Structure formats: C-alpha cells, structure tokens
Amino acid sequence: MRTRITLLLLALLLIAVPASAQQLFDFLGQTVVPAAAGGMLNMDSLIRDPAPATTPLPLDFANFEYTLVVTNLELISGDGTTASPQNYANGTLTIYEDNSTAADYANPATFSDGEAILIGTITTLNRTMFTLTLGSAAGWVDWVGGTHLDDIAPVDQIGWPFLTGISARSTVIEPGYSEQWDGKVEPEEPIVDTEDMSWGSVKALMR
C-alpha cells in the first residue's frame, strides 16, 4: 500500500501545475473567409508559448513548432454585421507538432504536416465584423482525436471556448488570405489542477 501511495504522489508531482496558472493555446494566423453560405472557412496559424501562463497540455516549444489549423468550417448563414453575425458549423481544428518544416504562409501545406496531437470539431462559431476591418469570432471546440487526446480526461474534452480577434487591414494579411486571426482556445478551468490535501486525506483515498 505504501508503494502505491508513493507512486501516486510521484505521479501527482509529475503532472501538477500551479493551481493559479492559466492555460490556453494562443494562436496568431491567417484565414480565408468564404464569400457565401455553403462555403468553407480555413485558417492556418502558429501557437506560441504563453509563459508565464501554460498550455493545457505540456508542449516542447524549444524543439518543436506547433501549428493550429482550421479546415472546412461551413458558413451556414449571416452577413457578418452586428445585426446578422455569420454562423458557422462543423469544422475541424487540428494542432500539429512538427520539427522538420518551418511554417510558411506562402506554402499552406507547411502548417498541416507533422504529428496531429489534438483534433477537434468546431461545433459552432459566430463571426461578427464591427467595422470593415475589425471583428471577432467566438465558438466551441470538442476534442475528438489526436495522439494526445487521452491526456485530457473525457469530461474535459468537451466545450472549449474558441475566441479570436479579426483584422482585415491590408498591412497584416498575407497573400492568398483574407483576414488575420489572433486568438486562443482554452478550457474554462485548468484541466490539470492541484489540490492541497493532508497526508491523512491522501491515505484515506487508498482505504
């Protein structure tokens, strides 16, 4: 029994992050927006190390590049104004880990190579433009696949907010794209947390 408790404590130490640390996937990328309902929205972006906050899963930014790619997010309705925000549904969001090819907007395929560590479904997303060049989009992601899906408890795989600011100024848009999206995907609460427990309480868990 003592060995089991020791192993449990070691495991907790290995996976613990400070309870106060915010967790998010912070991305900055380029998006192609469809012209009409039925068209598909696609985005290529890079994830950055958000220190002193953390990513929801441990990522090795020193040795890998992480990209976040949205594909086939279908425009259902709306014109994008505040009176009629665009409604999108059923897109795929994938986070790739790659140490071989640097992401380059001139070659979009460089964003979707490497290992797909998380794959999610964007269930819904609303896009609103407040001016001709400034807007926001908010949606929800359910994680459904990827090599690290099992690192997230099933109860924590559903309903992650996706939020981004939108800039359509010509100075920030890469050729072939229509908007710059700067946003994040994050769980509403840290998915790996720590709790203060007395030694007696830990032992009680094993009885």
Partner 1 sequence: MMRKSIPFMAMALVIAFAIPAFGQASAIDYFGYAWETGGFPPSDPGDVMIFTGVGDYADPIFGIDFGTEEATFYMYDLVSTGEVPLEGGSVMINYTGGYLEIYRDAAMNADWGIAPPNLTSPSTFMDGTLFFKGSFNSMTLYLNPGGDGVYEGTLDGIGGTMIDDVCTGCVYTWGGNFTPPSGAQIPDGYDIQIDGVFEIEEAVSTEDYSWGSVKALFN
CA 186 – CA 161 distance, rounded (Å): 6
Residues 83-102 binding partner 1 (CB under 8 A) are 83-85
Examine residue 132 and tell whether it contacts partner 1 (CB under 8 A).
Answer: no
Examine residue 183 and tell whether it contacts partner 1 (CB under 8 A).
Answer: yes
CA 53 – CA 24 distance, rounded (Å): 8
Examine residue 63 and tell whether it contacts partner 1 (CB under 8 A).
Answer: no
Cα–Cα distances (Å) from 75 to 53, 56, 94, 163, in that order, read 33, 29, 19, 17
Examine residue 136 and tell whether it contacts partner 1 (CB under 8 A).
Answer: yes
Alpha-carbon radius of gyration of the chain:
20
Examine residue 172 and tell whether it contacts partner 1 (CB under 8 A).
Answer: yes
Q: Which is closer to partner 1, CB of 42 or CB of 164?
A: 164
CA 41 – CA 29 distance, rounded (Å): 13
Examine residue 40 and tell whether it contacts partner 1 (CB under 8 A).
Answer: no
Examine residue 31 and tell whether it contacts partner 1 (CB under 8 A).
Answer: no
Examine residue 157 and tell whether it contacts partner 1 (CB under 8 A).
Answer: no
CA 111 – CA 133 distance, rounded (Å): 25
Examine residue 17 and tell whether it contacts partner 1 (CB under 8 A).
Answer: no
- From first CA to last CA, the distance across the chain in angstroms is 9
Q: Which of 117, 109, 151, 138 is nearest to 47 (CA)?
A: 117
Tell me the two tokens of residue 172.
Answer: 């920030």
Count residues binding partner 1 (CB under 8 A): 45
- Tell me how long the chain is: 207
Q: Which is closer to partner 1, CB of 5 or CB of 178?
A: 178
Out of 189, 199, 205, 207, which residue is the one contacting partner 1 (CB under 8 A)? 189
- Give residues in contact with partner 1 (CB under 8 A): 20, 22-24, 26, 28, 46, 48-53, 81-85, 128, 130, 134-136, 138, 161, 163-167, 169, 171-175, 180, 182-184, 186-190
